[in-house]
Amino acid sequence: MDSECWSAFLLASLVTAFTPGQAILLAVSNTLERGRSHALVSSSGNIAGLFIVAGAAAAGLGLLMQELPWTLQALRIGGALYLIYLGLQPWWPARPTRIASVPRTPAPTRRDLFMQGLTVAATNPKGLLFFGALFPQFVGTGPGLAARFLALTLSFAACTLVAHAVYILAAPWAGARLRDRVSPASGRKLAGSLFVLLGLGLLLA
């Protein structure tokens, strides 16, 4: 692959990675609610999900979506419903604990956060369209296919990691300026509402 082709792919990857979507919203939400280290766990799951989507694209996902458009619709609806599920969680009544009378919602484990990121990546229409439609044009065919596939996938994953890191680092700075105006519970509900709206937007798209 020549440098001009790789540069074009890198530019497309950066634009796609930095465009706010459900993966970025999940990273920001987890940063404000649980801290940067937990947000990095969900972002790691998102990176793993991207490799799954890229592998599916290499296996013929793009052709499948062209021949059977309902497959993309099914993934889009599944992803939208999952976002709505995540968004409704802060609004659900908290479960009372046996130790204290104060209601408390069980905190998600690192495995839960990792799976959140992976599920969002695997059902993200933006990523599916990128790898299903644009990615094959850069990978091409012929000798060196495996090397090109690995290089481009790693490049996209690196761009995604950089984008998440920027948002994760900036989220506490923005959150600190809103803390005096919005309570933590209200902040979680606000983030949840954004997830719900994003999910509804995917359903109506």
Residue 99 lies inside a defined structural domain of this protein? no
The per-residue pLDDT for range 116-160, each reduced to its tens digit, is 899 888 877 777 777 766 776 777 666 777 788 888 889 999 999
Mean pLDDT of the chain: 75
CB environment 190-204: b (16+ within 10 A), e (fewer): ebbebbbebbeebee
Residue 100 lies inside a defined structural domain of this protein? no
pLDDT at residue 43 in the model: 92
Structural domain for 20, as ranges? 3-94+105-204
Residue identified by tokens 């209601």 is 103
Number of domains into which the chain is organized: 1
For the cut 80, the answer to whether the pLDDT of residue 7 exceeds it is yes
CA atoms within a 13 Å half-sphere pointing along the CA-CB vector of 126? 19
Residue 78 lies inside a defined structural domain of this protein? yes
Residue identified by tokens 């519970």 is 185
pTM: 0.68
Range among 9-23, 92-106, 109-123 with highest mean pLDDT value: 109-123
Residue 152's identity, in one-letter code, is L
The per-residue pLDDT for range 17-39, each reduced to its tens digit, is 888 778 888 888 888 888 888 88
Q: Confidence class of residue 99 from pLDDT cuts 50, 70 and 90?
A: very low
Tell me the sheet residues that pair with 96. 103
Residue 160 lies inside a defined structural domain of this protein? yes
Residue 179 lies inside a defined structural domain of this protein? yes
**Per this entry, what is the length of the chain?**
205
Residue 182 lies inside a defined structural domain of this protein? yes
Residue 84 lies inside a defined structural domain of this protein? yes
The per-residue pLDDT for range 166-191, each reduced to its tens digit, is 989 888 776 665 555 555 566 566 66
